[in-house]
Amino acid sequence: MTCLGTSVPPNVVSIAGIDPSGGAGVLADIKTFSALGAYGCGVVAALTAQNTQGVAGVYTPPVEFLRLQIDTLFADVPLHASKIGMLGNAEITLAVADRLAHWRAANVVLDPVMVAKSGDMLLGRDAIAALREALFPLVFIVTPNLPEAGALLGGRMPETLAEMRRAAERLREMLPTTTPRWVLLKGGHLPGSHLTDLLFDGDRMIELSARRVDTHNTHGTGCTLSSAIAALLPQCAGHPSPVETAVRTARDYLLRAIAGSGALAVGHGHGPVHHFHAFWPHPPAPSHC
């Protein structure tokens, strides 16, 4: 069940942070957009000094320059989806929400990035309220993992599938009810050889299960999944079940990217997934130039 490919590639923007190691953030999002047939644009909401082992520092640009990035891009490029990732603080979050509302951004996919794979905090606590109050009204689909869901709901993370179902329901209640909106609650933090995500629109609770891939190369998995959904939503618009199909296709892409990550050798910590696994099936031949 896929819907890859349109006569003209959709334009998709990532508004997120820069990870110099390329495993997460805008750089990973652009790779994902490209691998899935979308033209990728990027707005830098934060700079990080980061590698596969941790985050050494975070710098956010002046908020007026962030606004200028968004306005300049949206004024020229017709954007069919927007992926929102690391925003860093409340001021940046409110500015992004303001400009997305101004431009009536379509297919907003919110990955509420709060903690790096290394455990480093990437979002100030004051910004969580800004996410809920300013960005949630604009979101088409939100994709939290379990710790992020707990933070958004003001409690501990769900620890069972039953608790995940209730958390998905509560998160959906935080989104507008007048138009279709979705929650994809990712269950990768629960133990076991299988992982289950929940896709919920306020009516249907769809369980999406898969066998867990045994690897430490999981840096940027949340960024990659949310950007894959953003790339696929415009391409699935004519499908009978566009959102479910986009999410299932995105999950399949991510699982294959995780499974193929062993072909890469990047860093000494949590390595990145292989965004171009379908295009680099074998190591390149040695160069004789």
Catalytic residues: 186, 218, 220-223
Q: Half-sphere exposure of 128 toward its Cβ, with a 13 Å CA cutoff?
A: 17
Q: Select from 28, 17, 12, 3 the least CA-distant residue to 274.
A: 28
**Cβ pair 195, 210 in contact under 8 A:** yes
**Cβ pair 96, 45 in contact under 8 A:** yes
Q: Half-sphere exposure of 152 toward its Cβ, with a 13 Å CA cutoff?
A: 31
DSSP 22-87: SSSHHHHHHHHHHHTT-EEEEEEEEEEEE-SS-EEEEE---HHHHHHHHHHHHHHS--SEEEE---
Contacts of 198 (CB under 8 A, 6+ apart): 164, 165, 168, 183, 184, 185, 187, 205, 206, 207, 208
Which strands make up the sheet holding 141-142, listed edge to edge?
55-59, 39-50, 11-18, 81-84, 108-110, 141-142, 182-185, 194-200, 205-211
What is the C-alpha to C-alpha distance for residues 225 and 2, in angstroms, rounded to an integer? 15
What CA–CA distances, in Å, run from 247 to 32, 69, 81, 234, 251?
A: 14, 29, 14, 12, 6
Identity of the amino acid at 246 = A
What is the C-alpha to C-alpha distance for residues 206 and 200, in angstroms, rounded to an integer? 6
Strands 205-211 and 194-200: antiparallel
